[in-house]
Structure 1
Amino acid sequence: MSGSAGFSLPIQVVEAAGLTAWLAEDHSVPVVSLSWSWPGGAALDPAGQEGAARLAAALMTEGAGDLDANAFADALRDEAIGLDFGAGRDEFEGGFRALAPALPQAVRLARLAMTEPRFAEADIARLRARAIASARQMLEGPRGRGSRAFWAAAYPDHPAGRPSGGTEESLAGLTEAQLRAPLTRHLRRNGGLRIAASGAITAAQLTQLLPQLFGALPEAPAEALPPLPDFRDFGTQVVPVAAPQSSVIFGQPGIAPRDPDWEAAQVMLRILAGGGFTARLTRSIREQRGLTYGIGAGLDSFYGQAVLVGSCATANARVSELLSVLREEWARMAANGPTSEEMDEAIAYLTGSQPLQFTDSRRIAATLLAMQRNDRPLDWLTRRPERLAAITRDHAASLAKRLLQPEGLSITVAGQPEGI
C-alpha cells in the first residue's frame, strides 16, 4: 500500500459452512482483526425501548458461560484481546483484535459471548446506570439537545428520529427479557450476517475459524428494517438552552452510497465543507469573519440512504449572521460549482490520503465490512484513484446543482440565539 497511484488492497472471498467473509491478509505484524455485523441495531428497538440493543451489546462482554464479568475481563486481558459488541442506528456489530497466537482464545470468548451471555442482575444495574448517566449528559449542553431535536424533526415517528442510545425513561424501564430480545433478533448464522477479516491470518485458517465462531448460532432470516421515509424539511427551529453559545446543526437530503455520483459528491463536499482550512465554509465563516471555531458537513449514511448534515457553534448574538453566510455559500456552490483549482486540490487530497485509512488491521476490517454493506465490488478501493481522476469540474458542478438545496436547508439552533 505505497503511493496513491499504486495503492492496492487485495481482498479474498472466503467461504465455509454457508458463511462468507472478505479477507485482507497481511503478515507484516502478528495481529488479526475480525469484524461482523447484522442489519438492525437501534432500528429494531420497539417504541418505548430505545437503547435496548446498545445496552444489550454492552452486556455481552460482562460475563458469559461459566465466567462472570471479572473472570471474562481477566481472560481477555491475559491474552491482550480486544472484544466488543455494539449497536448503531441500523447495524448490530461485533469484532475482536488479537495477537495471532491468541486467536483460538479470541474465537472461544467471542463465541461464548454470543451464545451464553450471562446478563447478571448486578451487571445490568451497573451498565444501565452508566447508560442513563450518558443520556442525561447528552442533554446538558446545546450540542446534544440540538442533535436530538434535529433528528426527531427530520424523521418523526421513525426509529431514525429517536436516540439510538435511549433516553433516561426508556433505559430505566428495560427488563432483562427486553434486553435479551435484541440478541434473539440479531445473532444468527445467516440473517444478513457480514464478516470481514484482516491481518496475519490465511484463507485456510479463516475457513476453519468461521464455523467455530458462528456455527452455533441459529439459522433465521433477518428482520426487515422499517423503510426510511423522506427527510422532512422542517425549516429553522430553536431549542432554548441557557448557554453563551448556540449549537447549530444543518442538513438536507443527501444521495445514497450506491448512487453513481457518490464519489463526485465527496469531492464537491470536500471543497464546500470538508476538513482543513481550504473548505469554503471554513474560509468564509471562520477565517474571514471569526464566527465559529470549526464548521464542517458531510454525508451521513444509514438505512441505505444518506443525509447531508453539518454542525458548528457560535456566540448567540452572531447566529443570524452565521446562517446568512452559510446559505450564501451553499447557494454559490449550487449555482456555480467548484473551480478547477479547487477540484485539483480536493482530488489530490482524497487520492493521496487514501492509504492513511488502512494503517491497522481493525480499520481495514471495518472498511471491508462497510464495502459489503454498500455493495462495493472487490476492486473498489484499488480503482478509486482512477475514478476520482475522472471526475471533471463540470460533473461536480452539475452534481452540486442537483444535490444542494440552499432554500431547503433544515436548521436546528440550540441555545439563546438572537435575531432568529
Structure 2
Amino acid sequence: MTRSASQIRALDPRAFVLRGLAALSLALALVFAAQMARAEIEIEEVTSPGGIKAWLVEDHSIPFTALELRFRGGTSLDVPEKRGAIYLMSGLLEEGSGELRAQDYARALEALAADFSYDADKDTVSISARFLSENRDAAVEILRQTIEEPRFDQDALDRVRAQVLVGLKSDQTDPNAIAGEAFAKLAFGDHPYGTNGKGSVETVSALTRQDMFAAHEAVFAKDRLYVSAVGDITPAELGAILDQLLGNLPETGAPMPGPAEVKLTGGTTVVPFATPQSVALFGQKGIDRDDPDFFAAYVLNQILGGGSFETRLMQEVRTKRGLTYGVYSYLVPRDLASTYMGSLASANEKVAEAVGVVREQWQKTAEEGVTPEELLDAKTYLTGAYPLRFNGNGPIASILVGMQMDGLPREYVVDRNDKIDAVTLEDVNRVAKELLDPAGLRFVVVGEPEGLKSTD
C-alpha cells in the first residue's frame, strides 16, 4: 500500500531519535494503562479561557504527557485538481516552522526529548505530541509554530514530494493498492472517497508551495478541532496550552464535502495483473457508527470475519479448505459513508473457490443467523480485548479524541463492554438479515484468477 505520512518520515534518520526515551515512556505508560483497565477512567472536559474544549485524563505518576489533536475533513478537503495536497502538507509540517529550518527543527525536538507526528487520512488530519513535563513549555511553543507558522520551504517540499511519488509509483505495481483504488472508485465514484487521498503521480508532481499554504488554511480551523490529553498535566495547565497552541486559529476552514453515496452493486470486477497470487477485496453498503444497531453489527462481524481464527470465514476458507492464509471482514463507518468490507489473498487457481466460499457464508449467515455459542465466544473476545487497547498515554489520548469525533459520551470507556454484553442473539440475527446483502456483495480481484471473470 502507499506509505502513510508516518511511514514517509520513517525513511528519514531523524525517525530514530529518542527511541530510548520512547521505550522508557512506554514502559511507564503501560503501568498506567494497566491501572486504567482495572478501574473507572476519569475523563474531565476542560474548557480553556478562550473557549477551546478538550478531554483530559490526569495522572501525575509519570512526568510525561500525550496530546492528541484531530481536524475533521482530512484529505477529502482537497480541491479536486489538487489531490494529494493535504497529505503532502501533513508530511511537511515537521520540516521546519517559524525561524527553524528542517534540521534545526529536528535538533530542537531532540534536545527537548519531545516527539511530534503528523498524518492525514480521508476524514482527519492528526497531530500527536509527546513531551516530558520539565520541557512542556518549550515543546508546546515549537508545536504552536508548527501549526501557526509552517515554512514549507521549497527544498523540503521537493524532498518530501519525491518520497510520496516513490510510494505512488510503487502502488502502481502493488496488487493491494490497485484493488483498493479500484474498489473505492466503484463504491464512491467522483466523491473524494472514490479517489486516492495521497493523490496521483500527476497531481502531486504539479503541487506548488502555494498549494501547501492553501491546504494548511483549509484544514486548520476551530470548527473541526478535537483535542485530548493524557498524563502529567492539570486542567488549568491544559487550558493555557490550548489557548497558546490553538487560540489564533481561524474559526472556520474549507467547506466539508457532502455525504458520499455507496454505489456498489453485486458482482465481480477482475483487474488483470501478472502475479501468482490474486488479491480480493470485497464489500457492500455498511452501517453508520451512530446507528442503534451498530453494536449488534459489530458482534456479528466478529463472528463472520473479525480478527480471530475462530470466525466463520477463517474456518471455512482457511482451516477447512486451505485456500488462503487469512481472510477478514471489517466495518468501515467513515464520516460521510459506511461500508462493510473484507479481504483475502489466494493462489490464482484457488481464488475463485475462495470467493465462492465467502459468498456462501455471507448468504448462510444472512439466512440462518448465528448460534448462541458463537455469540458467547464473540462477546468474550471483544470484551476481553478492549482493555488491551489502553496500552499507553498516547493510545489512550488517541482513543479519547476518536470518541469525541464519533459523538460518544465520556462514560463510553466504562460502558462499552456493557453495550457488547447487552447484544442478544435476536439482535444479531435480525441485523444479519437486514445488513448482510449477498446479492449486493462486490468483489474486486487483482491478479490472473482462473475461473473468474468480470460480471460488469
Question: TM-score, normalization: structure 1?
Answer: 0.96
Q: Quick check: 1:250–1:409 contact (8 Å CA) kept in 2?
A: yes
**Candidates 204, 219, 229, aligned match of 2:236:** 204
**Residues 243-282 of structure 1 mapped to structure 2, 5 A cutoff:** 243-282=275-314
Deviation of 1:227 after TM superposition, in Å, equals: 2.1
CA separation in 2, counterparts of 1:224 and 1:236?
32
Any conservation in 2 of the 1:100–1:200 contact (CA below 8 Å)? yes
Amino acid across the alignment from 2:390: F
2:187 aligned partner: 154
Contact 2:37 2:390 in 1 (8 A): no
Matched, 1:136 2:169: yes
In 1, distance between residues paired with 2:322 and 2:416? 36
Out of 351, 355, 361, the residue aligned to residue 319 of structure 1 is: 351
Cα drift, residue 142 of structure 1 = 1.2
Given residue 112 of structure 2, which amino acid in structure 1 is its aligned partner?
E
TM-score, length-scaled by structure 2: 0.89
Q: Contact 2:68–2:229 at 8 Å: present in 1 too?
A: yes
Q: In the alignment, which residue of structure 1 is the partner of 2:261?
A: 229
1:345 match: secondary structure: helix
What is the identity, as a one-letter code, of the residue corresponding to 1:127? V
Query: What residue is the counterpart of 1:372 in the other structure?
Result: 404
- Against the structure 1 CA distance between its residues 3 and 128, is the aligned structure 2 distance closer, same or farther, given a 3 Å change threshold? closer
- Asked whether the 8 Å contact 1:154–1:234 carries over to 2, the reply is no
Q: Does 1:288 align with 2:320?
A: yes
Provide the rounded CA distance (Å) in 2 between the counterparts of 1:137 and 1:234.
30
CA distance in 2, matches of 1:192, 1:92: 10
Tell me how far 1:304 sits from its aligned partner. 4.4
Q: How far off its partner does 1:9 sit? A: 1.9
Q: What is the RMSD computed on CA atoms of the aligned residues?
A: 1.6
Q: Deviations over 1:35-88 (max 9, x none)?
A: 112221111111121110010011111011111100001111122211122221
For 1:115, the equivalent position in structure 2 comes to 148
1:191 is paired with a residue of what secondary structure? helix
Q: Which amino acid aligns with 2:213?
A: R
User: 1:307, CA displacement in angstroms?
Assistant: 1.0
Match of 2:415 among 367, 380, 383: 383
Offset, 1:218: 2.4
- In structure 2, C-alpha distance between the alignment counterparts of 1:195 and 1:137, rounded to whole Å: 35
State the alpha-carbon separation in 2 of the partners of residues 309 and 7 from structure 1. 35
Identify which of 356, 379, 395 aligns with 1:363.
395
> Do 1:318 and 1:418's aligned partners in 2 also have CA atoms closer than 8 Å?
yes
**Structure 1 residue ranges (4+ consecutive) displaced by more than 3 angstroms after TM superposition:** 1-7
Aligned counterpart, 2:224: 192
> After the TM superposition, which residues 56-67 of structure 1 pair with which residues of structure 2 at under 5 Å, given as runs?
56-67=89-100
Which residue of structure 2 aligns with residue 24 of structure 1? 57
- Could you give the per-residue CA deviations for residues 282-314 of structure 1, whole angstroms, max 9, x where no partner exists? 111011111001111111222243211111100
Question: What is the aligned residue count?
Answer: 419
- For residue 230 of structure 1, report the CA deviation from its aligned partner: 2.8
**Which residue matches 2:370?**
338
How far apart are the structure 2 equivalents of 1:168 and 1:221?
27
- Which residue type is aligned with residue 192 of structure 2? P
Aligned pairs (5 A) from 1:383-402: 383-402=415-434
Question: What SS is found at the alignment partner of 1:322?
Answer: helix
Percent pairwise identity:
37
In structure 1, the residue corresponding to 2:128 is in which secondary structure? Answer: strand
CA distance in 1, matches of 2:61, 2:342: 38
Q: Give the structure 1 partner of residue 82 of structure 2.
A: 49
Match of 1:302 in 2: 334
Structure whose residues are more often helix by fraction: 2
Distance of 1:65 and 1:32 partners within structure 2? 24
Q: 1:267 touches 1:343 (CA, 8 Å); kept in 2?
A: yes
1:336 and 1:182 map into 2 onto residues whose CA distance is 50
Superposed CA deviations along residues 177-220 of structure 1, whole A, max 9, x for unmatched, are 112111111212x2221111111212121112110111222233
Contact 1:5 1:385 in 2 (8 A): no
For 2:247, the aligned partner's letter is G
Partner of 1:406: 438
